[in-house]
Amino acid sequence: MKIFNTLSRRKEEFVPLEPGKVKMYVCGPTVYNYIHIGNARPMIVFDTVRRYFEYKGYEVNFVSNFTDVDDKIIQKAIEEGVDASVISERFIAECKKDMAGLNVKPATTHPQATKEIPGMLEMIRTLIENGHAYAAADGTVYFRTASFPDYGKLSHKNLDELQSGFREIKVTGEEGKEDPADFVLWKPKKEGEPFWPSPWCDGRPGWHIECSVMAKRYLGDEIDIHAGGEDLIFPHHENEIAQSECANGKPFARYWMHNGFLNIDNKKMSKSLGNFFTVREISEKYDLQVLRFFMLSAHYRSPLNFSAELMEASKNGLERIRTAAARLKELEQKLGAAEDGLTGDASWTERLSGQEQAGIAAANELTAKYEAAMDDDFNTADAVSAIFELVKLSNSTVSESSSPAYVTYLRRTVAKLCDVMGIIPETKDESLDAEIEALIEARQQARKEKNYALADEIRGKLSGMGIILEDTRQGVKWRRA
């Protein structure tokens, strides 16, 4: 398997620290609101990475944090007149609901910053002791960037340039810094803010330290993969490397993976531009499986543009897979399920017709094509094309006279490949059902009003969606073609 490593800016062969195991850390959201569809991209992408490792037989220890102490959380708590933890706990619960809707597996561990303060104090103490950090007069603790010669290795920035860049921006309250490129590990409390006692001052942690500490606690000093959105490369991940490597005396993560940004109508998503959607808002218009499928239609490192047209295309694509999967399932039920033990290369295929044997060989080739795409830095776009080809194969070769084993084998293959993408092909799209029922209703109304042209137009639209209408005594019934 090859992974594009931001550290080397090259695709590298994946070699785990421990055979058969993957230790993976993904930076999670700051919980002050519902997650937006940009936050959903790393969740979906790295859940798919995890699923593919599991498909390949790896045991994955997947850690993803919730940043539950931060200026925006505190601001919202002040506005609502509640404790910051009320805000963060509320949005952690909402985030978990969205993740379930997106079929993102829960992490092995979901640590929270506020529950990891002792570990942070411990790491900060170590960094001070070994000369990599210092406390200023007001109790702020800074990381001494100049003490880490590798600083800049992830973002490919040079410390000298950084220092002069930072010198331009004078931040008030940071007068105690030795060097403009130094960053905060611990800061003094302000009125009305949550705080914890520490040897340096009552205060709270800087943002970066939490991830170094949680990765160490739940995965160890050295981990296989560290991931997040590309905006985190600098300064967040660069600072995590500095903290972890200076505190632990070991290289931190071997592979750094970063997803590209999600834009809306080719513009950066932002609240001020008004082009900002939460996952919750999208879930009112679409089945979230469509959003997941949309995200995986592009390579994870490419920028991705969110638009209604692309979502419609994803909806139709997903429906094509679902229709084929539903037909396979229906046939399987009609023909009787085949026995277990249908592997790719066993002698059971000899019982099949020549055309079916060729179908099995084609399905195996498509599985290999899918795996080759995923092995090449998780190229989900090409992997999805292989699923579409499999659907085509199934549609053109399966019928009521097929061997049960052939039908079962194809159904299982479709399900297996979709599962890595987190796509559940055999679920019904409730929102689509509602849309179909509304169209049928409109057609009935048109007929009542003797507007046959409109009634026919609606019937045509439904048939374009693969829906067959039947007039029965109980009224109009519909089924998928």
Q: Which of 71, 231, 437, 449 binds ligand AMP (CB under 6 A)?
A: 231
The two three-digit tokens of residue 476, written as one number: 């109009």
Q: From the CB of 301, what's the least distance to ligand AMP, in Å?
A: 11
Are 52 and 17 spatial neighbours (Cβ–Cβ below 8 Å)? no
- Exposure string of 265-299, with b = 16+ CB inside 10 Å and e = fewer, is eeeebeeeeeeebbbbebbeebbbbbbbbbbbbbb
Place of tokens 């295309």: 313
Stretch that binds Zn ion, among 106-114, 178-186, 189-197, 206-214 (CB under 5 A): 206-214
Provide the residue count of the chain: 481
By CB under 6 A, tell whether 39 contacts ligand AMP. yes
39 is in the binding site of which of ligand AMP, Zn ion, none (Cβ under 5 to 8 A by kind)?
ligand AMP
By CB under 5 A, tell whether 213 contacts Zn ion. no
Question: Three-state SS for 62?
Answer: strand
Nearer to ligand AMP, 231 or 265 (CB): 231
By CB under 5 A, tell whether 3 contacts Zn ion. no
Sign of the four-CA dihedral 219, 222, 224, 226 = positive
> Hey, what's the torsion of the CAs at 441, 444, 446, 448, to 10 degrees?
-140
Tell me the residue type at 196.
W
By CB under 6 A, tell whether 261 contacts ligand AMP. yes
By CB under 6 A, tell whether 74 contacts ligand AMP. no
Q: From the CB of 146, what's the least distance to ligand AMP, in Å?
A: 27
The two three-digit tokens of residue 356, written as one number: 């079916």
Tell me the residue type at 326.
A
Q: Interface residues for Zn ion in 20-79 (CB under 5 A)?
A: 27
By CB under 6 A, tell whether 38 contacts ligand AMP. yes
Stretch that binds Zn ion, among 179-187, 211-219, 253-261, 397-405 (CB under 5 A): 211-219
Stretch that binds ligand AMP, among 33-41, 317-325, 380-388, 419-427 (CB under 6 A): 33-41
By CB under 6 A, tell whether 235 contacts ligand AMP. no
211 is in the binding site of which of ligand AMP, Zn ion, none (Cβ under 5 to 8 A by kind)?
Zn ion
The two three-digit tokens of residue 419, written as one number: 């599962």
Stated as kind and residue range, the H or E segment containing 254 is strand 253-259
Q: How far is CA 330 from the centre of its chain?
A: 32
Q: Which of 201, 232, 247, 414 binds ligand AMP (CB under 6 A)?
A: 232
By CB under 6 A, tell whether 205 contacts ligand AMP. no
Dist. CA 183–CA 270, nearest whole Å = 27
231 is in the binding site of which of ligand AMP, Zn ion, none (Cβ under 5 to 8 A by kind)?
ligand AMP
Place of tokens 């939460």: 278
By CB under 6 A, tell whether 101 contacts ligand AMP. no
By CB under 5 A, tell whether 211 contacts Zn ion. yes
Q: What is the DSSP string of 133-196?
A: EEE-TTS-EEE-GGG-TTTTTTTT--HHHHHHHHHHS--TT-TT-SSTT-EEEEEE--TTS--B
276 is in the binding site of which of ligand AMP, Zn ion, none (Cβ under 5 to 8 A by kind)?
none
By CB under 6 A, tell whether 88 contacts ligand AMP. no
By CB under 6 A, tell whether 237 contacts ligand AMP. no
By CB under 6 A, tell whether 104 contacts ligand AMP. no
Which residues contact Zn ion by CB under 5 A?
Answer: 27, 211
